Amino acid sequence: MSTDRDKALVVLSGGQDSTTCLYWAIDRFGPANVSSITFDYGQKHRIELECAREVATVAGVPNVCLPIDTFAALGGDALTDTAVPVSNGVDEETELPVTFVAGRNLIFLTFAAAYAYRHGARHLVTGVAQTDYSGYPDCREETMAALQLAITLGMDREFTIHTPLMHRTKKETVDLAVQLGALEAMALTHTCYNGQRPPCGECQACRLRARGFAEAGVHDPLLDI
Ligand code: ZN
């Protein structure tokens, strides 16, 4: 019989990385012990929410979507603020990509921990990667270690944040997806910064995804939809 100690909650965005993580969690903890959480943070590309739901359905795990409408109110990033165009550019002041949503992963994982606390899970799984081209500071291993400590202390429960993709390149993430049988679900994912399915193929997110599949020698099923 499983216990709280065995239950895992995956932060599922509907993208390639979090979908791979969902299958990683199912492989590691067993399908009956895995559930997924998605955040409606006011992202311009609402299709992400639908993709997350579909991926969870195909994977056979529950999915809950929680609203956080504050990021859009903060403004200034390309994923929630309609005044900021999505581009491959960087913010001149911070030198971070315009697609950086300040605080996003910190808030997501804190809410995920709060949800996990209420639903008896101690394992949180997220698709953040240090190897990510963009170098988002909230994707770093150090940030995750500090956050794990903070939520463990702050909720007085021993949480573990799993980051299976932390040191994998995009090619290695594709290899892992193949190994875990997650390829079919890849057709349901969304990656494009322009919100397109099939993908635009031009934006940085599309190009990075395409390169990962090409290097792995695997055909991306998203291109066939
Ligand atoms: Zn694109």
Please tell me the distance from the alpha carbon of residue 214 to that of residue 37, in angstroms, as a whole number.
30
How remote is the CA of residue 26 from the centroid of ligand 1, in Å? Answer: 29
Please report, for the domain that includes residue 39, its CATH number: 3.40.50.620
In a domain, 170, yes or no: yes
pTM of the model: 0.93
How remote is the CA of residue 198 from the centroid of ligand 1, in Å? Answer: 9
Which residues are within 8 A (CB) of 136 and not within 5 positions of it... i.e. 6 or more apart? Answer: 96, 97, 100, 105, 128
In a domain, 152, yes or no: yes
**Per residue in 62-119, pLDDT tens?**
999 999 988 888 887 878 877 766 666 777 777 787 778 888 999 999 999 999 999 9
How remote is the CA of residue 193 from the centroid of ligand 1, in Å? Answer: 5
How remote is the CA of residue 140 from the centroid of ligand 1, in Å? Answer: 24
Domain hosting 108: range is 8-224
Number of domains in the chain: 1
In a domain, 1, yes or no: no
How remote is the CA of residue 85 from the centroid of ligand 1, in Å? Answer: 13
